[in-house]
Amino acid sequence: MRPIGRVSMFAISVIAAALAAAVATQAARSAGVEDFYKGKTVSLLIGYSVGGGYDAYGRLLARHFGKHLPGNPNVVPQNMSGAGSLKAANYLYSVAAKDGSVIGTFSRSQGIAPLLDKAEFDSTKFSWLGSVTDEVSLCVAGREAPVKTFSDLLVTPATFGGEGAGSDPNIFALLYRNVFGAKIKMVNGYPGTNEIQLATERGEVDGLCGLSWSTLKGRYPHWLTGNKKANILVQAGIKTQPELPDVPSASELAKQVDQRQILKLMLIGQAMARPFAAPPGIPADRKAALIAAFERTTKDPDFLAEAERLNLEVNPVHADKLDALLAGAYAMPKDVIAKAAKAMSD
């Protein structure tokens, strides 16, 4: 065996020193993150009113997230409803502290909102943490509504509740009206799907679009069981919901090239489903810690057990996937984006 020469020994010492420095740096960063969060309160903004699906997922995450962050901060949910969660998205992007102490959840559709209307942010610059699940979106009509199927909606006018531009109920109602020819009239101004659901039960509106299957099953199960209070007209998602084999999908209805192109852009939001994000520009080590904490939370047995009790689906989407989905949306041909934007105009 050849003896190790001076040059080789020097190389080994350099490598060892570099490894030790890297370990020390990582330890310092971890300690720095822990020191920052220890004793702090992290605000979790929820872009909707109390009682809906986004609120349920936001509060569920808040109850478990802190124990997976270094320093174990308290996590306090705060509802900030308005304009279909655009108010919360704008606040998180432009106003909230960019130090990792504020995170939020808002409409899955806000990711593509800047492409379709005048949302004043670049959604690719949010510090995306991940999504608790992917999703299938539904159009639902109350039992007493004049429409029972999507075919009915193509010939019979019906009034659907909305929240505002860029919100799930508005985007999907306009999609079906302007792209597929559904006879939908919008009534806007509701702060969340919970209020539209109540309005549907009272007969103020005939139904709503953009309602998640997880929300319908978890928050309004009485619409599905016994003397059903609602009819599901159509579903939209990257894949169909196995529990709804008899409900037509938007993908099946999209016969024309323009319809398929616009639908492809709209369905990016469905893959984002229940997204959580922090503001742009937060320190890299805290961003990494938030993403790691989100991932650990969605695998936490206590979190999963509570989600099951609440009948909330968990099928996590990693932060990298959200970044890739939005990069794909922003890279779509301008003519397709223009067609989609026109279709989303009320």
pLDDT in tens, 262-312: 999 988 877 888 999 999 999 999 999 999 999 999 999 999 999 999 989
pLDDT for 117 equals 78
Q: How confident is the model at residue 31 (pLDDT cuts 50, 70, 90)?
A: low
Beta partners for residue 211, in sequence order: 138
Tell me the two tokens of residue 55: 């609120």
pLDDT tens digits, residue range 236-262? 998 899 999 999 999 999 999 999 999
The DSSP element (H or E) to which 236 belongs, if any, is strand 230-236
**Whether pLDDT at 73 is above 50:** yes
pLDDT tens digits, residue range 98-131? 999 999 999 988 999 899 877 889 999 999 999 9
Between CA 8 and CA 339 the distance in angstroms is 64
Percent of the chain with pLDDT over 70: 90
Contact between 276 and 130 under an 8 Å Cβ cutoff? The reply is yes
Domains of the chain: 36-134+275-343 (3.40.190.150), 137-268 (3.40.190.10)
Beta partners for residue 2, in sequence order: none
pLDDT for 268 equals 87
**Whether pLDDT at 22 is above 50:** no
pLDDT for 7 equals 42
Instruction: Give first-to-last CA distance, the chain, whole Å.
Output: 80
DSSP result, 120-147: SS-GGGSEEEEES----EEEEEETTSS-
Q: pLDDT: is 337 or 10 the higher one?
A: 337
pLDDT for 28 equals 39
Q: Tokens 């300690």, residue? A: 31
Q: pLDDT: is 76 or 117 the higher one?
A: 76
Q: What is the pTM of this model?
A: 0.81
Q: What is the mean pLDDT of residues 77-93?
A: 94
Q: How confident is the model at residue 81 (pLDDT cuts 50, 70, 90)?
A: very high
Contact between 83 and 165 under an 8 Å Cβ cutoff? The reply is yes
